[in-house]
Amino acid sequence: MDYDIVMKTDRLTSAILRFPSGKTATFTCSSQLMAYQQTNIFWDRGQITVDIPVNAPPDKSVRIILKTKEKIETIEIDPVDQYALQAIYLQGLPEMNLNNILLENLAMESEKGMLCIDARGITIKGLNLITAEYPALTFFNAKDVIVEGLELRDTSQTGIYVNGDESVNITINGKPIF
């Protein structure tokens, strides 16, 4: 390990992990080399490469390459702004609702939480949401919404707001709220 005495952090660290089965894993991590990120995972049947696995720029896609003896598969994940002001924004139109959306295992922190407008059949399973502004969840003309496993950091404030004449059948953590 190379330690930076001014910043009080490690500049460069490498490690070899040995497991009881006799297998090993190695890694190198640096905080002060060129701007570069890549994760490579190797095993007896192939390799997975992830370009920019942590804090990708908001204008760049992330590429995952799966190589096996049989094939090479590339998966592109569209750019995502990890610093967005709104955690979740779901909006259809009054005459054509957004329909049948499933979101699972989300951990989000943003200024504003979730806004759901003119939508039907929205299911969210596992949402840990930290917001600066409340309410954390806002529904307007939302129908048949199920949110399971909702966790809000600040439970002292009103976390959920429902409005709109067409809002119906909204359930949060197993309890009907509207």
The pLDDT tens digits of the residues spanning 52-99 come to: 887 777 788 889 999 999 999 999 888 877 667 889 999 999 999 999
Separation CA 103–CA 22 (nearest Å):
39
Residue type, 36: Y
pLDDT confidence of residue 37: 82
Burial class (CB in 10 A: 0-12, 13-18, 19+), 67: middle
Nearest one of 115, 107, 118 to 137, comparing CA atoms: 115
Separation CA 132–CA 153 (nearest Å):
10
List per-residue pLDDT tens for the chain, 178 residues long. Answer: 777 888 787 788 889 999 999 989 888 888 777 667 888 888 888 999 998 887 777 788 889 999 999 999 999 888 877 667 889 999 999 999 999 999 999 988 888 999 999 999 999 999 999 998 999 999 999 999 999 999 998 777 778 999 999 999 999 999 999 8
Burial class (CB in 10 A: 0-12, 13-18, 19+), 88: buried
* Phi-psi label, residue 56: left if phi above 0, alpha if psi -120 to 50, beta otherwise: beta
